[in-house]
Amino acid sequence: MEKKRDVTIGIGGAAGDGLDKSGDTIAKTCSRLGLYVSAYNSYQSVIRGGHIWLRVRIAEKKVSSHGDHLNVLIALNQDTIERHAREVEPGGAVIYNSDKLTCDSVLIGNQVLPVPLPVKAITKSFGRLQPIMQNTVALGALLYLLGLDFDMAASVLADTFKHKGEAVVEQNVRVVRAGYDYARDISVPLGYEWDYTRIRRPFITGNEAFALGAVAAGCKFYSAYPMTPASSVLHWMAAHGAKCGVVVKQCEDELAVVNIAIGAGHAGVRAMCGTSGGGFALMTEAIGEAGMIEAPVVIIEVQRGGPSTGIPTKTEQADLNQVFGASQGDYPRVIIAPTDTTDCYYTAVEAHNLAEKYQLPVTIISDLLLSEHPETIEADALRHDVPIERGEIISDWSPEKGQFKRYAFTRSGVSPRALPGTVGAMYVAATDEHDEEGVVISDVFTTPPVRRKIQEKRMRKLDKVLQELTPPKLEGPPDAEVTLIGWGSTKGVIGEAIALLAAQGITANHLQVKYLHPFHAKEVSEMLRGMKRTFCVECNYTGQFARHLRAETGFGVNDLILKYDGEPFEPHHIVEQLRGILEDRPRSTDVTLEEAREMGYHYVRVHLADKVRPGKIEKIDESEYGEPLWQIEMVSRDGGEKRGNLSIGAATGSTYSWQAVKALTADAG
Amino acid sequence: MATVIELPIETYASEVEPDWCPGCGDFGVLRALEIAAGRLGIKPEDLMIVSGIGCSSNLPGFIHAYGVHSLHGRAVAVATGIKLANHDLNVVITGGDGDGYGIGLGHFIHAMRRNLDLTYIVMNNQIYGLTTGQASPTTMKEVRTKSTPLGNFELPINPIALALVSGATYVARGFSGENKHLADLFAGAIAHKGFSLVDVFSPCVTYNKINTYEYFRKRNYKLDVESGYDATKVELALQKSFEWGDRIPIGVFYENQQPTYEDQEVALSNGPLVKQKLGLNKETFDELVEEFM
């Protein structure tokens, strides 16, 4: 049998179970061994409780998404077994603490190996351990099952717990060893084989790459108000500000955040700020201000699920309209959507260069998926000697030359900049309309031709910007049956979907757009007009990019592939929707069985104090509610005894009724 | 310490004539600011005037110095960024009561608790002038304006008290009808290391027919000649800040030296940010990347 070289591990538990640490240890171990890792954490905005579902994909070749497989499940609570054990693919395993959890054989497929770990017995010799050490035992079992290098894991643990002292390190390593040895005694490895190159490569998130890239490009100022999922930029900057000479300012609100950054940018320092959609909404007026006074500034907008407060810990690509609509009036700005983790690094560099060369605001639009998922990137992906292009800055101005014209009407639209403090070049940067010298023409001296010429001057900077940006390229055969169009973070997953389609005999090509404004309308237009059938893939409800594409090019895509449940696309989601459209099966918005189970969990949490869990689920076609129903049997958490029935509309998703088994309602409600 | 070479007020003369109404209190503020800057010998290139929006926020356009005429309510934030980027600049914020105590109130309070070395001059005319006469955050109770035809029934903001409890380290009030005194307050504020507020009664001759020059001339008295007043005592200052009626105090309410934000920010210890080298050397970069391995 051929050895397997691509595995996806799922770790599930409650917030506070410490599974992020376990995930980190696995990921770092594999990354240091020279394997490629990509992880995604479906977490919730709670400190404790809630269901956390972390997936870590490990492969010998570079992986560009967390994929859509599940090979090994580490369950830290019973819910995780109930929810995810079924998803484990043949040849895989389910690892769990058998002191506390059970894994019913009906929940797992025939060729899936249950790996019950009697944690107490395994760790008897260590005395009393913290509950979190069950994760450490499971980690040991996992290392054995996947044939991973034990010593590397031990060295990662040594680094992780170094600050806690030698004894803690040693205990962790010994507990991992105990789990490893136990698994060896009861089982055989799952048939993975790894070629360890031991090439050291960074394991990094998009937000970390933004921060590092910005600092490498000379960013000296970062301001922010805490907001998920942008906060990790603030955290990295705050932790490294002193070392890198960066002033990091947490502000009272996003109005301050962006205006302080604009002030710093105006004064001649490379300045950046970051937020998510809600904070960006507060920043919008000031982004127009930067456009008007021609101050360089970089804003990172990390999208999360909206609208309003929305779903802070879930991903979406639905702020595009907002970023385009930011601020009143027409003003020059650049909007960039980086397409992968390494690209985040270079986008930060490019954003600072564009902002200074063209003296305008640059918005980087990312999303939770891209910003927060860590992955292994190539060893030489990040270069320290990035280009730093500041544009034209004058160092002095002699009075003989007359009044310095900060907004001189040049052919390029770019006017030489004098930083405050420059002798002889005093001027006022006004948000009111002004003339070449900066003198306000908004009230008493309103002069239509001056207004016309300065508006033209500002706006024509974008012609030069567009020439500088690389147009998007069509990947794959030009005569493919289908064309998939995406923007920003979906590059990797669309690529994997295309490989799946190819395996199913459907040829596809791929256009991923990074530069959203100014837009390569001519190039994209020409490219797409020859395509057979076009699909826009977006993580939102309305297809915001497809609309933008039509506005810019007049080209309307044939179909939309959309997702807006807060979880990112996995390759199969794209393939299934695409095939449905090709086969003329309209996309169903009905509640699936898996979704019904999750809705059952939601009901249990809200109304039944988490005392029961969903058991058997079946669909009833005839119901008094005018739609088929999902009937969910709720069972006790310990014995699996029936406690009642919950019915959910299969089309609407409405929770119609909860009928408790009478005698047991008291402790279940 | 280097000797100060005073500069004539013409140093700051702008070619652009102010477009304020004849008799506007803001003329006196502009004049006093020029006198204060000249007395301190601040070169025009080292003077940065940041304003928001409103009649008084047009001031940067009428003085020969660097200026930013920013958004309504955001002057303090923009000035904060400029100061952190280049703390060699003398950064003075000028604006009105609506700009600073209304739409920009949050930035005002937070800037004070940071004790940034900024000077904030608020031309307080107790009315929205540019928008033709609506109630402002400092409009007194019962005053009728275009937006309060039956009389204002909200309490006015007390900027002096607010500044005292928010951590400002130089808190003063002046009157644009007393130019020399006002120039002294401005010079003290700009020279002071830390956040300075100078609230200035700057009458709006067009839309506020109550708080007129006459109104203040009758009531104002100077704290510096008030016997027993000690501007280092915050309790006394707070007490005085509530005095309003037949007698209204002007002058320095409070002055105290505390470390500034800039003093405490490690990244500024090598001098202004704007003068630092850009980018990272290989060694630092490698150390940063190593953390991801």
CA distance, residue B128 to nearest chain A CA (Å) = 16
Q: Which of residues 15-34 of B touch A (CB under 8 A)?
A: 15-16, 19
**Tokens in use for A611?**
């005392």
- Name which of A263, A429, A432 is nearest B81 (Cβ-Cβ): A263
Residues of chain B contacting A217 with CB distance shorter than 8 Å: 278-279
Looking at residue A161, what is its pLDDT?
A: 93
What gap in Å lies between CA A448 and CA A453, rounded to an integer? 9
Q: Which of residues 213-232 of A touch B (CB under 8 A)?
A: 215-218, 220-221, 223
- As its CATH architecture, domain A593-668 has Roll (3.10)
- Looking up tokens 């003063």 gives B172
A-B Cβ pairs (cutoff 8 Å, strict): 202
- Residue boundaries of the structural domains of chain A: 6-186, 203-376, 392-469, 474-582, 593-668
Q: A82: Cβ–Cβ under 8 A, 6 or more apart, which residues? A: A107, A597, A613, A614
In 3D space, the residue among A406, A440, A404, A401 whose CA is nearest the CA of residue A266 turns out to be A406
Query: Which residue in A199, A269, A389 has the most chain B C-beta atoms within 10 A of its own C-beta, making it the best mutation to test that interface?
Result: A269
Phi-psi domain of A539 (left: phi exceeds 0; alpha: psi -120 through 50; beta: other): beta
Find out if CATH 3.30.565.10 is the number for domain A6-186: no
Length of chain A: 669
Cα distance from N-terminal residue to C-terminal residue, chain B: 50
CA distance, residue B164 to nearest chain A CA (Å) = 19
- Name which of A244, A248, A429 is nearest B68 (Cβ-Cβ): A429
- Which residue of chain A comes nearest to B88, CA vs CA? A421
**Tokens in use for A263?**
């002030």
Query: Which residue in A266, A297, A331, A375 has the most chain B C-beta atoms within 10 A of its own C-beta, making it the best mutation to test that interface?
Result: A266
> Does the pLDDT of residue B88 top 70, yes or no?
yes
Angle at A618 between CA A613 and CA A623, to 5 degrees: 115
Q: Which of residues 426-445 of A touch B (CB under 8 A)?
A: 426-432, 439-440, 443-444
Q: What is the pTM of this model?
A: 0.97
Report whether A36 contacts A61 (CB < 8 A).
yes
Q: What is the value of ipTM here, to two decimals?
A: 0.98
| Total Cβ atoms within 10 A of residue B257 | 12
Looking at residue A46, what is its pLDDT?
A: 55
The torsion angles phi and psi of A169, rounded to 5 degrees, stand at -55, -50
Report whether A176 contacts A154 (CB < 8 A).
yes
Q: A131: Cβ–Cβ under 8 A, 6 or more apart, which residues? A: none
CA distance, residue A606 to nearest chain B CA (Å) = 38
Looking at residue A208, what is its pLDDT?
A: 98
SS3 of chain B: CCCCCCCCHHHHECCCCCCCCCCCHHHHHHHHHHHHHHHHCCCHHHEEEEECCCCHHHHHHHECCEEEECCCCCHHHHHHHHHHHCCCCEEEEEEEHHHHHHHCHHHHHHHHHHCCCCEEEEEECCCECCCCCECCCCCCCCCCECCECCCCCCCCCCHHHHHHHHCCCEEEEEECCCHHHHHHHHHHHHHCCCCEEEEEECCCCCCCCCCCHHHHHHHEEEHHHCCCCCCCCHHHHHHHHCCCCCCEEEEEEEECCCCCHHHHCHHHCCCCHHHCCCCCCHHHHHHHHHCCC
Q: Which residues of chain A have a pLDDT value below 70?
A: 1, 44-49, 444-445, 662-669
The domain made up of A203-376 has a fold known as: Rossmann fold (3.40.50)
B66, A428: Cβ pair inside 8 Å? yes
> Does the pLDDT of residue B110 top 70, yes or no?
yes
Judged by a CB distance cut-off of 8 A, whether residue A253 touches chain B is yes
- Each residue's pLDDT tens digit, B14-51: 999 999 999 999 999 999 999 999 999 999 999 999 99
The torsion angles phi and psi of A481, rounded to 5 degrees, stand at -65, -40
The domain made up of A474-582 has a fold known as: Rossmann fold (3.40.50)
Query: Which residue in B34, B273, B281, B286 has the most chain A C-beta atoms within 10 A of its own C-beta, making it the best mutation to test that interface?
Result: B273
Looking at residue A47, what is its pLDDT?
A: 55
- Residue boundaries of the structural domains of chain B: 19-290
- Each residue's pLDDT tens digit, B173-195: 999 999 999 999 999 999 999 99
- Which residue of chain A comes nearest to B46, CA vs CA? A421
Residues of chain A contacting B293 with CB distance shorter than 8 Å: 31-32, 200-203
- Which residue of chain A comes nearest to B74, CA vs CA? A259
What gap in Å lies between CA B122 and CA B93, rounded to an integer? 8
Q: At what angle do helices B105-114 and B159-166 cross, to 10 degrees?
A: 40
**Tokens in use for B181?**
């005194």
Same-fold call for A203-376 versus A474-582: yes
Mean pLDDT value of segment B149-157? 97
User: If DSSP codes are grouped into helix, strand and coil, which group holds residue A393?
Assistant: strand
What gap in Å lies between CA B40 and CA B50, rounded to an integer? 19
Q: Give the helix ranges, DSSP H, for A70-205.
A: 78-84, 119-122, 133-145, 150-161, 166-186
What gap in Å lies between CA A570 and CA A561, rounded to an integer? 12
- Amino acid (1-letter code) at residue A19: L
Angle at A540 between CA A259 and CA A588, to 5 degrees: 165
Looking at residue A545, what is its pLDDT?
A: 98
| Total Cβ atoms within 10 A of residue B90 | 21
Residues of chain A contacting B69 with CB distance shorter than 8 Å: 428-432, 440
Query: Which residue in B130, B274, B282, B287 has the most chain A C-beta atoms within 10 A of its own C-beta, making it the best mutation to test that interface?
Result: B274
- Name which of B53, B81, B270 is nearest A259 (Cβ-Cβ): B81
- Label residue A311 exposed, middle or buried (CB < 10 Å: 0-12, 13-18, 19+): middle
Looking at residue A637, what is its pLDDT?
A: 83
A221, B285: Cβ pair inside 8 Å? no
Find out if CATH 3.40.50.970 is the number for domain B19-290: yes
- Name which of A31, A261, A443 is nearest B81 (Cβ-Cβ): A261
Judged by a CB distance cut-off of 8 A, whether residue B286 touches chain A is yes
- Which residue of chain B comes nearest to A256, CA vs CA? B77
Q: Which of residues 109-168 of B touch A (CB under 8 A)?
A: 109-110
Looking at residue B205, what is its pLDDT?
A: 97
- Which residue of chain B comes nearest to A375, CA vs CA? B292
Please tell me which of A103-107, B127-131, B225-229 the model is most confident about, judged by mean pLDDT.
Answer: B127-131
